[in-house]
Structures are given as structure tokens and as C-alpha cells.
Amino acid sequence: MSQSSGYSTLNLEEVDTISDAEAYKASALLRAALLSRDKYQAASQFLSPEWDWDSQQPWSAPVTATLAHHELRIVDGVFKVLNEDGKEISKLPTLSEYVKDYCDILAVASNGAVKTMTYKRLKLLSYKFDVHRCLNDPAEIEGTQDDPRDFSTVMKVDTHIHLSAAMTSKHLLEFIKDKAENHGEDVVALSKDGQPETLTKVFSKLGIDLVRFNLNVLDTRADNTFERFDNFNAKYSPMGMSQLRDVFLKSENGVLGGRYYAELTNQLLEKMERSQFTAAEYRISIYGLKAGEWDSLACWAKKFNVYSKHLRWLVQIPRIFFIFRTHGTLQNFEQMLDNIFRPLFEVSLNPESHPDLHVFLQHVSGFDSVDDESRSERQFDVECSKILPGAWSSTENPPYAYYSWYFWANIASLNQLRQQRGLKTFDFRPHCGESGSVDHLASAFLLARHINHGINLAKTTPLQYLYYLAQIGLAVSPLSNNSLFLDYNNNPFKKFFCRGLNVSLSTDDPLQFHYTEEPLLEEYSVCGQRWKMSDIDLSEIARMSVLQSGFEHRIKTEWLGPRYLLAGPSGNEVSFSNVPNLRLQFRSDTLNQEVSLINKLASSTPLPKANSSLFTRISINEPHSASEKIMQDQLKACLNLSGALALIRSYHPTREHNVSPRDTSCIIRLENGVHSVYETQSVASKLFAAVDPMEPNADYAVFCRDVARMVDVLSDGATASFSFTRLTLLECIFGMHTLMNSDIEKQAMKHVPKDFSHLSKVDGYIRASTGMLAKHLLRFIRAKLDENPPIPLKEGQNIPLRDLFDQLGLPLSNLTLDNLNVKAENTFMRLDAFQSKNNPFGNSVLRSLFLDVFNVIDGSFFGEITKQLIDSRTKADPHVLHEFRIALPGRTPSDWNTLARWLIKHELLVDNVRWVIELPLPYESFVAEGSVSSFSDVLASIFGPLFLATKDPASSPDLTRVLDYISGFDVPYSKSDYLSNLTNLPMPRLWIKESRPPFAYLIFFIQANLKSLNTFRASKCMSTFQLSSAIDIDAPYYDRAALLLLTDLVHHADIVTRGRPTTSYLMYLARIGAVMSPLSSNALALNYQESPFSKSFQRGLLVSLGTDSPLQLHSMDDPLLEEFAIASQIFRLSACDLSEICMNSVLSSGFPHQVKQRILGDAYLSAQDPLLCSVPSVRTTFRQAAWHAEIDRLGRICAAKPL
């Protein structure tokens, strides 16, 4: 897209990068299809002459001379008019041409190259609209602020509504009851012996009790109609009684002459005129059963003055020849055609031959073809076409395409005659694509001006794209579809609209589907609410309804303005349509680009095969032409985000690698909860943390201030709105990138030595205590029971393991996976139930015995099973690396020695495993048992040994060795009562309360100590550590702010980021790692399909997958591969996507710098090596460009002017 004046646009330099020869072939086929349609439209579509009748005299018509010397013939089912010289006055394509063109369209629709190309183009159209909305939504809203209209006051035409069901059930009920109560003596029918029957008598014979006559008894609502067109048709008869339909809903009904039907219709028209801003094209039937139907219909309309400026008629012809033939009322199909079209040709040649019909036709806008499309039918082909209408005498119904040809050919011939006579011409707008074969849509593509329904276009991208290019109108009725063929949630209307198809909303049959007395507005309301469509969207749909309709040019100028025929904003009057020029400029530009692309490719030679250096680059033009208010909102949001990003970066200094070790003597002190390192030469000269022990901890005061600032950002509506828009934009741009460059990425991946199965990938969040599978744990327990080792008890006695099971009431003969009871079932929204699944056989004693380090057997069982786990996983897939969470109580400093001995004893320090120390910190328990006197004691127990081991490795050789295999620390989330006023909380040495410190307070002191420790260890060229955590979805802003400020990695990020656009956008900008465990969330709080994993990945967050608790969640021997497999299938991830997620898992992990270099390349921090990580440079270049564009944009807006 190129830069257009006044709005932000997308740049796609795509034509010069399209090297797929199939795209050129597909474009040629698409262009040929469009040219075929043009041939038929040129033969049938003419601008009707203007007839400015007086609304007080609607049943007058211009006098037109009779063509006495012209001859009318029906030749092979098509009427032809011959002039005085015996020559046909009309020229139409032939039936053989139609059959060939129809088959060609079907071939285009089934062509693989066309399917691929049109799928991509339609997806691209969706993305373009989403991008347009992201960039221009505020400007569009402002573009309608000064016009006098809003959605409620723009004209809306119900372009598809059947008169016999145009009223609501309530309206019909009230009408029937009024007639029964006040006009019961009206003669409405004749008995079998010809005697007149009053309405009261008819009701009595039918057993209708007016006292109990309600909507339930009327029974016209659509229920039990899904996939049951027969049941649906029965709903046209009140109470299922055809006699009531004849009395109230027929224009031909003997005694009454359709009077009730006319009165009911005029009531509808009065409502419509009172509303001022709705109009309709009522469908009324001509069956072709007899020649006099047209005169009868015209006489009815004129006699009862069924007229409104807001009404045009659209004559529907039911495709039910087979019923008439079965009953013997018609002998062949040509008779039906003759009955339908002969009166129309006669009145066009000689208006005096059918004077009422001549006038009535001035109110008719077109023809419709209706019936159940889902009914099976014969294939229309060359052989079928050879059966001419005069010879079609079987009871088999002609196929849809056969009907369509003969209807269209006669309408086109009629239009050419009437156009030459200066008379009104007609559209052909059939029902099509509601159900049944998509082949119907091929016929309508050639012949129809517009169609009704069209939802089956969702099943065929080639035809959907052709309908878009040709801008064929679709009058869609989602509420009707919902009751008949397609659930509302699955209706493609919103998708069609976004892509730019010419769609309008219509009611179809309010009698069956609608509840309110304004059915069309009800249709718009449901659509707007369900699909979150704005008033501008709805106004655009309303505008398209006027354009699709058959109302005269003069009327349309009153509704849309005098220039409505011009394309794009040139034809738009905002004061009439309430549609901003920006929207129509976008629609026009996009359509022109698609047409230009097809034409260019269709007439060009394919480029050489693409390479990774030639790919579609996507950029955005965002001119600073927005209004002051929009700029102020953007500026506020950008200042907030820039400030928040700066704060986050201030807590995460860049770590230097390959520095020379600094060897100085030092002392370590714990001051106000933070360990500080001093050079021994001078206590006043601090080596690292500059904290005066005699003053309050200044860093914590700064942190509290920063949290308050972050809370302001996270809770700001303008910032959330801006963040959501930018994230949506990133998602759309990624979608476009993959559409345009997936083939190039795929080709590039063929030249890398590693596939997904050989790529290094890190399980970034897995609990060691639940890291094994249930079957593995059960097998291990059974083996231990066979060994029957003694288990020490608290009293100093030992008990055999089998006896312990007996004491616990666990019979050894019934040890099954079902009884193990560790699978996550019935745990949704029940964290307590999920955590209880950590207990084998539902017993916490066994959990402590088998799945804990700190127990009476020094974690022996846990060490053995963990060793088995690591060995089996390494053997099965050496490319999977793990970061196991292992809990450290933090009760005393000796906990470190216990853990270190356990890791070493069981040989758990291996290259492809790193350990993350989980700090559950049960502070309340520590205080209760007297282990600690203040929170400072806990911090000393956790970090004191680490500083000492760093200072003097020889003093703690086991711990020193273990620290090289520890990659980070994790702080589990726990809600607290201290939700505000963090600044007034006491320092750790004064925290002598029994309650656990609040999360924000606690994680600050963990991070402050970790930061000091990392600086100390980095000075000695020792390994450093990450900090990770997570919070609940409803955690307060204080905790969310602390999480963003302090952590390097967020696990369960699908929960943390859901519905929090500012959090997500800041994590994207700050490149905070995000480990998601969709299976875990699916068991706890978030259905898998609702997981934000896919969106987060598309938007460019540093997302990876973690297994969390395989014991409860997984079945495969490789749980991480199971996570990948499920995500790949549900989210349709490509091989390139999987490689990128693997790369992300390494980047966000705590594995050492050297390991990351080996896996991703020496320069992995700035550019990953595609030969090592298997992520093509096309993808990484795109990601880097998108991120830099966001950062640059923040900077530009912030630098534009002060707030």
C-alpha cells in the first residue's frame, strides 16, 4: 500500500518479490473469470431511466407507444423479440457459451494454484483491514464527529426480506386477534360446497380459542429448523394450518382478494415510513403455474394501494417445477418459463395489454430465485444443457445452474427490450450460497447482479476472492442462518466485511427469526454486539445496502448524496452516510491494488525463484496528521511506556561477558535486608552495593516510588488502549509477513542442517517434584515396595516401606494409575485441588517421602527417581534441556548444604540440566516454630552461604560446584493483605510479624540480594543467576509492577498477560522472557483454545513452552515434545515457528553464555546463526525490524512535543 493523504497506511513491496510461477498462472485464470462475468453483465445490466412520479399518484406511469409490428417468440426457453425486419432486437451469449464459461469457473474454483493464491490474498485483506483499524480508528471516529448523522439516522435498506414473513410473530398475532375480535363476520373463505364462511366460523372449525391464542400457539418462530428446510417452510403457516396462511398471508385467496394481506403489509409500510431511515425490498412470489399471476398481483397492489417510497418489490420465483410436474399442473419446464415471462414481454411491447402490470413494474427492482439449495440435484453439464425446456418433462427438478440460465436469459432479453423502450429494467439477484453445493455460486458469479446469503463463499476461497474483485453484493442474514444452516458464531459475515466484500445485513423472515418491532435494527444490533463492530462499520454496511438495492438513482441521491456513483471518497458524502472518507479511501485503494496485482501478474512473466535476500518487507507510514486530541492521547501513552521501559531497564543492567576477574579482599555485610560487599582496605569504600547501614534503605524507597509510577502506567486507560492497538498491529504484520514470505522461509529451512527434532530446546518451567510421568512414579514406587527398605520414623524407629503403606491404608494389590490419583482432573479454577494431585495416592506423607529433598531419608527416593528421569530424558532426546525448579525452604543456612549434597550424591549435575531454586518461603511456619526472628534471618539463610561461597570457594566446595549448575531463583506468588502503602512497611530486620511479607516487598529484597550477588560473582567470572516469577490473573497492580520491574523471566505468562495489553506490550519492548504452559493453564484457569500463546508468539513476545508438572498433565515420555505437538496442531505452527520458539527458549533461559553461543552462535545477542538455530534470517530480520520500529516510534512521539 502506498501513502495516501490523511491516513496511515501499510507499505507492501510485494509485486517485485512474487516468484511463484503458480501465482502468475492463477492470476491469468482469475482475470479470465472476471472477463467472463463482464460479458453477461454487459448483456443484462442497464441504468433504468428516471421516473419522477408523484408520491400521491404512485399508480400512474409514463405513456409508452405500442410496438405493433414486433413479433414475440419463445425459442428453446428464451423469449426473443423480432423487429419489423425479422431481426432480433437483443443480443445474448449463447447457452453453449454459458455452459463453457460455467465449467471454466468451476475449474478455476478447483485449481490448486488459484486456491493457494486466493487463500493468501483473502487473509492479506483481513490483515490489511485490521492494520487500517489499528492505525486510523481514532481518525475515522473524528472524521464523523462534525456531520449531522449517526448510525441511527443513516438509511438502511433491507435488501432481502420475504413479504409473507416480513412482520414479526407478535405483529401477526395482534393482527389476527384484532380481526377475529372486531371483524369476525368478514367472509374470508368458501366451504367445500361453496358456502361463504366468516372468520369466526373458520376459527371455530379450526378449534382456535382466542383466550389462549398466544405466540406459543401461533407457532411461527423458527425452532427445530436447523438443517430442516421442510420444518422451516411449515412455519409460514400460522399454527401449522395452511388455511390461516391463505386467509392472512396470500394476495390471491378467493373471497378476500388478499385484503388482509394488504392491510398487514400497509401496516408494515407505515412503521417503516415512521422510522424514516429504513427501506425494504419485499420478496413476493410469482410461481409460473398460470399465465394470469402477474395481472392478479399487480391488481392486488394497486387495489389496496400497497405502496411506499421506502418500498420496492423483488419478485421471487420458487424453483419448484418438480412439484408442479408431479401434480400434473405443468407438462414441461418451458410452460413455467412461458407463464413467468410472456406477460412481461407483452406489457413491455404493449403497455395497454396489461395496464396494471405496466404500472406495477415501475415498483419492481428485480428478480429472485428461491428454494432449498441443500436439496440434491443433477449435475449441470453439457449433456444436461442439451435437454431444452420444452423437453424437460420429467419430475426431476432442473439443477440450479439450469434454472439460473433460463431466468437470466429471459431477464436479460427483457431488459434489452425495455431499455430500448425507455422502461425500467431489472436486476437478477437470486438466493445463492445459503446451503448446498458451492457450484451454485459459480453460476451466480456469471449471471447475478447481487445475491442473497452467499455464506458458502467461506468454503471456496477462489470464488470468494472473485466475488470481492467483482464487488458482487451479498445480502447476508446471520439470524436466519443461525436457525437454518450455520451457527451465528461461525457465520463468515464479519470476515467478509473485514476483507472488503460488498455485504449488507438483511432480515430474511422476521416472522420466524426476530423479536423486536424493528427487525432490521435488531439484525444490526446483534451483529454489532457479537462481533464488536463500531457505528462506522455498521454505517458502512448500511451504505452498501443502499448501493446493492434496486432503488432508483434519484432516491439513492437523496439517501447517499449526488456523487454516490463515484468510487472511493469522491463518491462519499459523510453528512449522508456517516462513513468517514478515510474508510472509503482505504477500501478503494485496497481493491485497486488487488485488481492491479492480478492484471500485472496475468500479463507478466514469472520472476526467478526467490531467495532469502529478496522478500516482502512490510513497513508502516504513520504521518503526524492526527488531531490534537489523538496526538495528546498517543503522547501520554508513549511517555508512560517510555518511562516504564526505562524503569525496567534500570533494574536489569547489561551483563558483561568475558571480563577479567577482579581479585580483591572483601567483607560481606547484611544491611537492611541486602547483602553488601566491601573492600577490606576501607569499610567506607564499598566494592558493590553502596548502602549506608545507619540509614533507611534508599533503594527500597526508590523501588516504592518506581512501583507507584508503574501502577499509574498499568492502570491508565489510554496506555492500555494504545498498547492493545500496537500489539494487534504487530500480530497483523506478522500474519502478513508469513503470508508473503512463508515460501521463502520454507526454502531457506531446507538449507539448514537441523530440523525441529535436532534443535536444542529448553523446558523453561518444570517442577522437579512433579517432573516425572505418573506411570514413571508408579513404577518407581512399586520397585521400592519390592525392595521394602526401612523408613526412619520421628521416634527414632524404622518401619518397612510395605508396613508404612499398610498403616496408610493402601493395599499393595491395588496400586494402579487410577489409585495413584495424580492426573489433573476436576481442577479447573481449583488450585487447591490441583495442588492436592502432588500427593501420590492422595497422601501427603508419601509426597514428602518420595518427592522431597528435606525428609527423613535425606531425599534418597527423590534423588533416585530424579536421576532416572534425567537419564531417560537425555537418552531419549539429548536436544532437550531442562531448568528444573527445586524448592529451598530458607529456614537455615544449612539448607544449602543439604541441597548441594543431594545434587552431588545423586549425580544430578549434568550439562543439559540447570536448577532453578524455588523460594516458597513459608515465613509464617518459620516464625511459629521459632526458626527465625525476622524476615532478615530468612534472607541471611538464603543468600549468606552464596556470598561466602563466592568469596571463598574453598570454604564450601560442594556448594561452589553446585552453583555452576544453578541458573536462577524463582519466587512463587502469594497474595497478601498488604495491597498498598508499601513505603510504610518495616525493613526486613524489623519485620518481626508472623505474617508473610507482601509479594512486591518480598521479591524486591530477593532481587536486590540477587543483583548484588550477580555483580559480585561477575567480578570473579563466576556464573550469575536469573530471577523468575508469576502472578495471578487478578493480582493487584502493585504486584504486577514489581513483576515487570524485577524479573528476567515470567512463567505462566499466559495467565499473567491475558487481558493485560500494557503488561504484554512492556514485556515485548523489554524482551522479558515469557514461558507459557498451555496444558497447565488448561487444567487450572484457561481453556486451551483461549490461551494467548499463539497471539503472544505472533506479536513477537519472547515466548517459549514449559511443561510445569508432567506428573499431572502429560502422557508422552517426552513432555516438552508433547507440549510442542499440541501447540503445533491447535495453533497451526509452521516448522519455522517451532524453530523460533526453540530459539526463544534458549534465549530466555538461564543457561550460561557459552552454552547459548554453542546453540545459537557467537553473536546470539544481536543476530542468531540460522545454521545453528534453524530460524531463517528472513524471520529474524523481520522480528528485529518490527521491534526497532516500535522502539523508534515511541521515541519519535515522545520527542515530538511536551505533554
CA angle (1013 as vertex; 1012, 1015 as ends), nearest 5: 65
838/920 Cα distance (integer angstroms): 15
What is d(CA 355, CA 741) in angstroms, rounded to the nearest whole number?
Answer: 64
Q: Which three cell numbers stand for residue 929?
A: 516454630
At 918, give phi and psi (nearest 5°): -90, 130
User: How many Å apart are CA 637 and CA 1156, to the nearest integer?
Assistant: 36
- Which candidate in 171, 354, 440, 453 is catalytic? 453
Q: What angle do CA 165, 171, 172 make, to 5 degrees?
A: 60
Rounded distance, CA 424 to CA 551, Å?
A: 11
Q: Which residue has the cell 531446507?
A: 750
- In the block, which residue shows the cell 524485577? 1046
Which residues are CB-contacts of 281 (< 8 A; sequence separation ≥ 6)?
A: 157, 158, 159, 160, 161, 311, 312, 313, 314, 365, 366, 549, 550
DSSP 10-37: EEE--GGG---HHHHHHHHHHHHHHHHH
- Unique residue bearing C-alpha cell 534418597: 860
Secondary element (H or E) of residue 463: helix 461-470
What's the Cα-to-Cα distance from 928 to each of 844, 934, 974, 989, 994, rounded to whole Å?
Answer: 21, 12, 19, 17, 7
Task: Give the contacts of 783 (CB within 8 A, at least 6 positions apart).
Answer: none
Of residues 847, 835, 841, the one with CA closest to residue 812: 841
Question: Which cell numbers in the block locate residue 548?
Answer: 446493492
Cell of 396: 426431476
* Cell numbers 430500448: residue: 420
3-class SS at 364? strand
Quote the CA–CA distance of 332 and 396 in Å, as a whole number: 11
Are the C-beta atoms of 1046 and 1009 separated by less than 8 Å? no
In terms of Cβ atoms closer than 10 Å to its own Cβ (0-12, 13-18, 19+), residue 818 is exposed
Neighbouring C-alpha atoms within 13 Å toward the C-beta of 1074: 30
Residue 453 appears among annotated catalytic residues: yes
Nearest to 154 by CA among 566, 532, 521, 477: 521
Give the Cα separation of 671 and 692 in Å (integer): 8
CA distances from 1132 to 428, 645, 1018 (A): 41, 32, 42
Full 3-state SS string of 683-729: CCCECCCCCCCCCCCHHHHHHHHHHHHHHHHHCCHHHHHHHHHHHHH
Of 1192, 1191, 1190, 1086, the closest CA to residue 734 belongs to: 1190
Helix, strand, or coil (residue 1174)? coil
C-alpha closest to that of 1199 among 714, 718, 631 = 631
Q: Hey, how many other C-beta atoms are within 10 angstroms of the C-beta on 700?
A: 22
Cell numbers describing residue 666: 572483601
Amino acid at 300: W
Strands 666-671 and 674-679 turn out to be antiparallel
> Would you call 1026 helix, strand, or coil by DSSP?
strand
Q: Bridge-partner residues for 885, per DSSP?
A: 767, 916
Q: Which residues lie below 8 Å from residue 930, measured CB to CB, with a gap of 6+?
A: none
Catalytic residue positions, numbered: 453
